[in-house]
């Protein structure tokens, strides 16, 4: 029989409990510290609604409205292609953004013309090669501006043109895989954007987008979430965000139908989704993308930011 007395047992057990309590407290503090690291949402705005304005005016409007970043539709800046934007001009664009207090988030509408005739999923091999070459050009442009993401929407340049959807997906995967290493070297991720069937028949849900990304299996190819592009989802926003959180590297926000925030019911309907993003400590970009430019870029920027702040005010 051991000489280990009841008193020793009590002392040892108390020590264990005390250590556990201290560990619990430290763990709690560590968890709180981790939670404090989240510094809030980062908002950006797409530049298309201001395409007729100078780059300086676009950046000033976005910065003055309280956004921290700009997401660029490259076709708004060129007449034939991104090669027109010289290295010196690219540096100047970065300087203008810095002066406005914003940064480049990345690019979207990657293959919208100009240039004309691009298509990543066509059976025409020559067209696919030309499209891949332009994606390489866009990767360099994005990297030169300090952008981290290229949002691959471009519905008309990825639909099943004379082939099956499965064949189109195969071409889509091959095309993205062929530029993935280049994107990674430039610090850029290409994000597959699910789109509604009214615009394309290739990749209509987040599950399909992530399946394609996993098929490619490269760290430079991932997914994103767009509030408006969910007509074929069967689960609510918050469930989708939680389910796919590991693959969500960007969020597009707008009213359902594509108008700017404040013209619909997003101020109430999106609260649960934003609460989920906050709970998940989502620290990547939330970017305003609209399709009705008639109110003008300044009104779109300011009114949408007001709604974003109202939504934030409802979170716990």
- Per-residue model confidence as pLDDT tens digits over 115-167: 999 999 999 999 999 999 999 999 999 999 999 999 999 999 999 989 999 99
- Per-residue model confidence as pLDDT tens digits over 17-26: 344 333 443 4
Residue range 286-307: mean pLDDT, rounded: 98
- Per-residue model confidence as pLDDT tens digits over 165-189: 999 999 999 999 999 999 999 999 9
Q: What is residue 85's DSSP assignment?
A: S
- Look at residue 38 in the predicted model and tell me its pLDDT: 85
Whose CA is closest to 43, among 273, 297, 285, 215?
285
pLDDT band at residue 37 under the 50/70/90 scheme:
confident
Q: Which single residue is written with the structure tokens 């027109």? A: 84
- Look at residue 161 in the predicted model and tell me its pLDDT: 87
Mean pLDDT computed over every residue of the chain:
91
How far apart CA 241 and CA 206 sit, in angstroms, is 10
Domains of the chain (ranges; CATH) run 39-313 (3.20.20.150)
Decide if 307 contacts 261 (C-beta within 8 A): yes
173 contact partners, CB below 8 Å, separation of at least 6: 212, 215, 216
pLDDT band at residue 53 under the 50/70/90 scheme:
very high
Residue range 244-260: mean pLDDT, rounded: 98
For the full predicted model, state whether its pTM sits above 0.75. Answer: yes
How far apart CA 160 and CA 114 sit, in angstroms, is 21
């Amino acid at each position: 029989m051991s000489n280990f007395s009841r008193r020793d047992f009590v002392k040892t057990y108390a020590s264990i409990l005390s250590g556990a309590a201290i560990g619990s407290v430290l763990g709690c503090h560590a968890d709180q510290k981790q939670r404090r690291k989240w510094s809030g949402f980062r908002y950006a705005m797409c530049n298309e609604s201001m395409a007729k304005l100078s780059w300086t005016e676009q950046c000033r409007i976005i910065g003055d409205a309280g956004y921290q970043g700009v997401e660029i539709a490259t076709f708004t800046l060129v007449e034939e292609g991104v090669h027109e934007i010289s290295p010196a001009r690219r540096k100047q664009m970065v300087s203008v953004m810095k002066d406005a207090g914003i940064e480049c988030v990345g690019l979207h509408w990657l293959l919208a013309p100009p240039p004309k005739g691009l298509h990543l999923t066509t059976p025409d091999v020559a067209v696919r090669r030309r499209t891949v070459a332009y994606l390489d050009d866009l990767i360099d442009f994005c990297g030169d501006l300090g952008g981290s993401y290229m949002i691959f929407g471009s519905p008309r340049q990825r639909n099943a043109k004379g082939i099956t959807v499965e064949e189109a997906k195969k071409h889509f995967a091959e095309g993205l895989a062929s530029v993935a290493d280049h994107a990674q070297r430039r610090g850029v991720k290409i994000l597959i954007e699910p789109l509604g069937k009214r615009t394309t028949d290739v990749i209509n849900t987040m599950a399909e987008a992530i399946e394609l990304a996993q098929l490619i299996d490269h760290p430079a190819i991932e997914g994103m979430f767009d509030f408006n592009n969910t007509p074929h989802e069967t689960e609510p926003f918050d469930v989708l965000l939680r389910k796919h959180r590991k693959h969500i590297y960007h969020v597009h926000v707008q009213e359902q139908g594509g108008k700017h925030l404040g013209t619909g019911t997003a101020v109430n309907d999106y609260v649960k989704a934003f609460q989920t993003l906050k709970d998940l400590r989502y620290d990547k970009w939330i970017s305003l993308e609209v399709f009705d430019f008639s109110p003008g870029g300044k009104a779109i920027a300011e009114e949408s930011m007001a709604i974003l702040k109202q939504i934030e005010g409802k979170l716990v």
